[in-house]
Structure 1
């Protein structure tokens, strides 16, 4: 008989078993590698998400108050989930040397202060805080410092219910999402906490202390910053010196495949407590008219004098410290010369009203004069009102 070469059935079975074992080992190795790669990819994604969020928070929060007029508050609202502040962060003017960044394509609505005609409610503020309540100007123009709001809000796009979004809103424009898949650092721990200057012991220098929960939230309830009423408790928010931000970022998964990283960083507020340098060099510039209106409201005869802040109060040399008023009689009889001032009014208000009810005589024509005074103390060129005649 002819010899036939080949494999027996037993040999084939053995070869197949060995092949399956080798293939299974290779597949197990590849599966383990794929899982390790996916785990590393998830971890890197979490780190990148965390890094992007922390870099944005740090680079923006520390600019609070930058290039804002003295009357415009550096910090508007400081709560557990939202932090709102004013800063000249972006300008669309290529020649602007004061803004942090210049973006020629930035919309005008995101490069200047909000107007009182378009106030907004600070997102997640509780109780709801509406801002602004006045206009802020610099050199007669709208302030270049826009309002930036960084806040954490519940993510309604996922079913878990305990994750948040980090959003950024400029003025009244639509917010943009910076980071997703955010969790609280621990149960009931606020996203934002704050440090303020506090004198712990009388006679000692103030030190940074953590703001207690009982004092939160803080809001700049006064229309302007730095005026005589901007004191405790209304001015508590002006004592803030640093923001402590704490949160966790995940890969968006739950259970055993969830990956998370936490961060807690202290961001300084270097512009808080600073004011524009008062030069007190040249003669101050008033640049505002003075109006006078005779009034008998409440049965009292008086003349109401009104004017707006001088050009050099919140811009220019920023050195006006008071306003000086004079009064003289024009008739009957020969016109008087201006003598001693009638009164003076401290600077630091968004607008001014002075009521003159001092020894007004009937059937007399008066003229008033106003000048701004700096700390040298020089007086500006005065302005006069139209004449006012008492009945």
Structure 2
């Protein structure tokens, strides 16, 4: 049985990440690696890589799912819930307040947004180098990463990412299945397989039943929950991929105007935490605080149900050498996917001048060589960027 202090630590660490994790899903994985693996040592690099590979297969917000999974490893379902609350609540609060006061996106300080983009460049570059050392230690796996990055850069679609992962798993199986693969893992989930089966059943039941309920009951909360649950269940790629889906569901149906939608999107870019908390803003605009709560729970609930359903079986599944061989290919491909995302949109949108690159280089050096914590590097890099912007 876990103690109150144990749960409090999960909540506090996740909250610190929720307050400092700027830069989007790829950057979030870098922050998680720094905090959960290097500093806290709650799991090892191999288990972390396996979790990333697993969450890439699932619909929904991949970085949030990785954080929830780590919370579940650390403290069961309650640990996962606390990890999710800590990581998402800061941005939920900010976006609800933004919706309440109807601030327009063009009032957000562009210098501050530029600083956060530069921070993301430094953080993601640091993550790719560290993950590459672990996951692509030889030429075949380096080739996996390069090919994956090249394909995704040429065809930057969410479906491309899924295809890359599936092909990498298949090729990895044939290339590495005869190697002497270690099956040791520190992945221990305090969940029964029966609970997992119930959770998966509930996931599919809600996906089928909610549209019928929404058509039968003309209530805004029911409609919002149906929309956000469906989007959270069916969108692959997370992050920006969810935005056009939500726009098509909400704007034509009169829940909010196109201008209000874009204003919230602008604000969501300037705050830490998962981009899926944009749902909180949309729910608030559509139907006040109740709508914000319904929308937030609706879009994240599928992630919980899928993880609770799959994680109890994951340790058993991952013991098979065929699965381990496939994961070698997937993990190498993930490095390539991160590399492609590092170039576009992170580098292309974050670095627009030599001054930007210089500030990003300082942030990267603080992480890579001076081993400073990510939250401190965020503060230093943002302040340095603003100082440079004032001087030039």
Task: Give the structure-2-normalised TM-score.
Answer: 0.24
Task: Give the structure-1-normalised TM-score.
Answer: 0.25
Structure (1 or 2) with the larger CA radius of gyration = 1
- Compare the two structures and name the one with the higher helix fraction: 2
Between the two structures, name the one with larger relative contact order (CA 8 Å, sep ≥ 6). Answer: 2
